[in-house]
């Protein structure tokens, strides 16, 4: 069975030349194969009918036909092959006409077959020429057969012979035309499938490009969101130094020290964000680290504390537990930065923000609670939807409106979720939960 399948595939590869993208070459290849089979059948028929000369011509024609097939398939000489095929076909048709009973014989069917074959494979500029050759030769031969019957070689044939000759030649010609049309349809469906595959590939590529553009926009928003506030804090400190000339050397040394720390933390945070952004754009999934959350959050919490102080907001930090996490720590940091910055943004001066890390079984729980302006129940429903529009904090701080949507998406990628409890005028509590392997519980630590 396997050998038969291989044989069928081999024959199919010779008949349907899928490697070429030119329909005319595909058809020419297939029709040469069909005509070869047709000549073999006609040769066998002529043996049966006792037509020795026509038998020799049928089988002898296979040799130049094989040469034309070689030129088309191997040498890729399509135009030369077409001229040779036409130059071979019409003289042979004329010989068949004179040797096979002229107008009484079945040559007209072969005329039609050859014309359909040549027209189907010819370039448009050659169609009229080939059709004219076919028509003029047909008229000339049938004129001779009608008005000069003495030029035609005739045999004493019976009506049965004549009937059989016409039926078999017509059937062979019809089969050839049918196979030609089937080849055209096969090529059409093949090209259609190829076009559909390319269309799906382009659609997938467009979708990927669209996703990359969306991801790029989100990453730009993250960079702006996460870098803007630390830089603003540094800027305000520098403005304070520039405006206040009465600072003591001790105060200046302290400010310089804090400024250096904040600048270094901001730089480190920027490096982490840019590195994470690169992995996000490349859709890389190997950013998994094992670390304790207190060590992971230290620099970020120091920066957030400095930003909160600029607004006279108190940030209280408590680690009820210090879990060890195995996960994409960049995503965790991203969510934490956004939640704390949001809390600072929507809390009035003199307000308090509580950041707490705890755990339940194999789950990490991080909460950010503030006593700020709160959120209405109507807005909570759509809080995590992507809605790019400016938002303004209690000190008129401007944001993109993308922060919570990004937090939600990254929480889902961590296999977790974000819960919200809020009341207008009373404040909000955002709780991040995600799976992790918890370490042995450590004593509560307050910063």
**Each residue's pLDDT tens digit in the chain (447 positions)?**
556 556 555 555 555 555 555 667 777 777 787 788 878 887 887 787 777 888 888 899 899 988 988 888 788 888 898 899 888 889 988 988 888 888 888 889 989 988 988 888 888 888 999 999 999 999 999 999 999 988 887 766 677 778 888 888 888 888 888 878 887 787 778 778 888 888 988 888 888 788 777 767 766 766 666 677 677 777 777 777 777 666 777 777 777 777 776 776 676 567 656 655 665 666 555 567 888 999 999 988 988 898 888 889 999 999 998 888 888 888 898 899 889 988 998 999 999 999 999 987 789 999 999 999 998 888 888 787 766 565 677 877 766 566 787 788 888 888 899 999 999 889 999 999 998 754 334 444 444
The tokens for 97 are 């006409």
Domain boundaries in the chain? 1-205, 244-284, 290-438
Closest CA to 334 of 262, 231, 227: 227
The residue behind tokens 């006792």 is 50
pTM of the model: 0.46
Burial call 34-54: b when 16+ CB within 10 Å, e when fewer: bbeebbebbbebbeebebeeb
Within 10 angstroms of residue 432's Cβ, the number of other Cβ atoms is: 23
Give the C-alpha separation, 212 to 206, whole Å. 10
Closest CA to 373 of 345, 337, 399: 345
Write the burial class of residue 148 (CB in 10 Å: 0-12 exposed, 13-18 middle, 19+ buried).
exposed
Closest CA to 296 of 341, 353, 335, 342: 335
The tokens for 252 are 């200046």
Is residue 93 within 8 Å of residue 169, measured between CB atoms? Answer: no
Write the burial class of residue 21 (CB in 10 Å: 0-12 exposed, 13-18 middle, 19+ buried).
exposed
Is residue 62 within 8 Å of residue 115, measured between CB atoms? Answer: no
Closest CA to 96 of 160, 38, 27: 38
Looking at 3.40.50.10490, 3.30.565.10, 3.30.499.10, 3.40.50.2300, the CATH number of the domain 290-438 comes to 3.30.565.10
Region at 372 (left for phi over 0; alpha for psi -120 to 50; beta for the rest) = beta
């Amino acid at each position: 069975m396997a050998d038969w399948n291989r044989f069928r595939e081999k024959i199919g590869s010779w008949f349907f030349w899928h490697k070429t993208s030119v329909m005319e070459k595909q058809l020419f290849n297939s029709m040469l194969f069909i005509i070869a089979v047709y000549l073999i059948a006609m040769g066998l028929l002529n043996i049966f009918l006792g037509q020795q000369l026509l038998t020799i011509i049928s089988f002898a024609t296979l040799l130049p036909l094989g040469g034309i097939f070689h030129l088309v398939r191997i040498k890729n000489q399509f135009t030369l092959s077409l001229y040779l095929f036409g130059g071979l076909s019409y003289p042979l048709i004329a010989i068949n006409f004179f040797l096979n009973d002229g107008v009484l014989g079945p040559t007209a069917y072969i005329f039609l077959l050859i014309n359909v074959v040549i027209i189907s494979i010819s370039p448009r500029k050659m169609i009229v020429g080939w059709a004219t050759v076919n028509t003029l030769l047909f008229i000339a031969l049938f004129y001779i057969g009608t008005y000069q019957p003495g030029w035609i070689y005739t045999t004493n044939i019976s009506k049965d012979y004549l009937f059989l000759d016409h039926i078999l030649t017509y059937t062979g010609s019809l089969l050839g035309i049918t196979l030609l049309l089937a080849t055209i349809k096969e090529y059409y469906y093949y090209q259609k499938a190829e076009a559909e595959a390319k269309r799906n590939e382009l659609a997938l590529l467009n979708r990927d490009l669209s996703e990359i553009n969306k991801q790029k926009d989100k990453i730009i928003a993250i960079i702006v969101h996460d870098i803007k506030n630390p830089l603003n804090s540094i800027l305000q400190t520098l403005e304070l130094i520039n405006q206040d000339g009465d600072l003591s050397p001790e105060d200046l040394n302290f400010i310089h020290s804090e400024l250096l720390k904040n600048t270094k933390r901001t730089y480190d945070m920027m490096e982490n964000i840019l590195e994470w952004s690169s992995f996000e754009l490349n859709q890389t999934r190997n950013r998994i680290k094992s670390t304790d959350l207190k060590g992971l959050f230290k620099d970020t919490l120091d920066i957030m504390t400095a930003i909160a102080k600029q607004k006279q907001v108190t940030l209280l930090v408590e680690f009820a537990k210090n879990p060890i996490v195995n996960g994409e720590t960049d995503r965790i940091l991203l969510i934490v930065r956004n939640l704390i910055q949001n809390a600072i943004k929507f809390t009035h001066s003199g307000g308090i923000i509580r950041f707490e890390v705890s755990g339940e079984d194999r789950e990490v729980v991080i909460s950010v609670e503030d006593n700020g302006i709160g959120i209405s129940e109507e807005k909570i429903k759509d809080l995590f939807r992507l809605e790019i529009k400016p938002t303004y904090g209690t000190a008129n701080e401007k944001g993109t409106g993308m922060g919570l949507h990004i937090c939600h998406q990254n929480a889902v990628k961590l296999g977790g979720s974000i819960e919200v409890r809020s009341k207008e005028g009373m404040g909000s509590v955002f709780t991040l939960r995600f799976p992790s392997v918890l370490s042995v519980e450590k004593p509560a630590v307050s910063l």
